Each structure stands twice: as structure tokens, then as C-alpha cells.
Structure 1
């Protein structure tokens, strides 16, 4: 007898409901122990982009952490990061420095892509992630 197929759970922290309603996407989807997180950008609680790559990186990682927690995961459970940069060559060192504060060891797989634009002209970085709940426990 086979096990039932896990159900898909939409993850949308309360403060992101407007994005769900207006743009028709979830901040994350969880199926079983796997969580796919939509791109998180460097905006504050008022949807205002941070000033520069460093501040935007901190805001995006804070948003990522919030979505993961809502899904029952932690940053330690992240197995893959994909980042999108509007000026990859100029920003990757500053971004990587912030990333290493959030992932000081047991680094996830990471792909960084240079792109021409993000959803707002002031945005410089967007972070996607895949996590496996509980995998980061040592």
C-alpha cells in the first residue's frame, strides 16, 4: 500500500497577503518537507527598497527568514539559493559578505545570475531558495 501524496501548502505570512491578492503568487509552497520560496527582494515593511546593495541584501535575507519560519523551516534548512542581480559584477562581493552572515557554514548550493531588471527599478537583488525542513539540524 502506498503512502498518500503530500498536500501542497501555500505559505504567505500575514503581512504579504496584499502581494498574494494583487500579484497572484505565494511567498512559498511546501510539499512534505520541501519548501520552495519565491524571490525575496530588499524592501522594508512599507515596500520601500533599501538604499544600496548591502541594505537590500539584509532586507531580502530577513524576508527569506520570515517566510521560511512561516513554513516551519530555518535558514539552516536551505539547500539551494538562486540570486538575481541587476549589477552582478559590482554587487556580488557586498552581497556575498551579507550572505555569509546568514550562512556562516554548511553553505547551500548557490547560483548567481546577472539580469537587466527586477520588479522595481530601484531593486538590485532578489533571492530564491529551496529548503528541506529539518535538514539543518546538527
Structure 2
């Protein structure tokens, strides 16, 4: 692998460029074929408002994850490690898992679910971060 292949690339799809500019973090970082995706939450990028309920927030978070991966030339099939953070871990797990399984249908990644007392905004109930290896899901 050449040194050019190992250069860090910051991934900020256009709907999230303002977040990078304001808060100084990237939606994803790619080095070689490995992609680290920042925590994605259930905020509608058009209205900047959190969705209502765990299922709706989970869908928006997975859509954000999908968008960040697309910007890094990868897909959800390339996710090898998933970390999720829940303000009601036990109460929301069934609904969360149902939505997760709609997005991650094959080659289920390693997964760690963590209960937390709060997320960045009081209305947020779930956050998803991931590590992907581009091309690894091309079975």
C-alpha cells in the first residue's frame, strides 16, 4: 500500500458540512480502506430537529451513517463494528434492533450497545457510530 493510500481523508457530505465548520469534527475519517464514522443521531438534516421516538431517531441515524459511508466510497455492508448509545437501553432495544436489522441485513458486524444518561441534546435517545472497511462487504 502506498503512502498516498494511507493519507487521511475527512468525509463531510454536503448536508453536514456546517457541523464540521461549526463544531470541528468530521462525519467520517478514512485511512486506506478503514473508515471511522462519528456518532450519528436522529436529527433531520433539513429541519435540524430531533425525530420523535426511538424508531424514527434510529432510522435517521442509520440514514446519516449510510450517507457518511457513501461519502467515503463504502456502504452499510462494509460495517465491521457498530457501537450504539441508548438513554433507555433496556426499554428501547427491541425497537432499535428491529430498525437496525432493516439496515444491516447481512454480514452482521460486531456490536456493542451502551446505556448512557444523556446525549448531545435532551431529546436524543440513540447515537450510532461505526467502523467500516471499504470493499469488505462485497461478498
**Which TM-score band applies after superposition, normalised by the shorter structure?**
over 0.9
Once the two structures are superposed, the pairs formed by residues 21-100 of structure 1 within 5 Å of their partners are 21-45=21-45, 46-100=47-101
Return the alpha-carbon distance in structure 1 between the equivalents of residues 50 and 22 of structure 2.
19
Aligned to 1:110: 111
What TM-score, normalized by structure 1, do the two folds share? 0.96
Matched with 1:10 is 10
Q: How many angstroms does 1:3 deviate by?
A: 4.1
Gap regions ≥5 residues in structure 1: none
Is residue 77–residue 106 contact of structure 2 (8 Å, CA) maintained in 1? Answer: no
Cα deviations by residue, 1:75-128 (Å, 9 ceiling, x for unpaired) = 000000000001101001100000000112210000000000000100000000
- Contact 2:54–2:126 (CA under 8 A) maintained in structure 1: yes
String of CA shifts for 1:20-79, please: whole Å, max 9, x gaps.
Answer: 111110000000000000000001122111110000000000010000000000000000
* Equivalent position SS for 1:65: helix
Runs of 4+ off more than 2 Å: 2-5
- TM superposition score normalised by structure 2: 0.95
The size of the alignment, in residue pairs, is 137
Give the whole-Å Cα distance in 2 for the aligned partners of 1:105 and 1:19: 31
Cα distance between partner residues in 1 of 2:70 and 2:106: 19
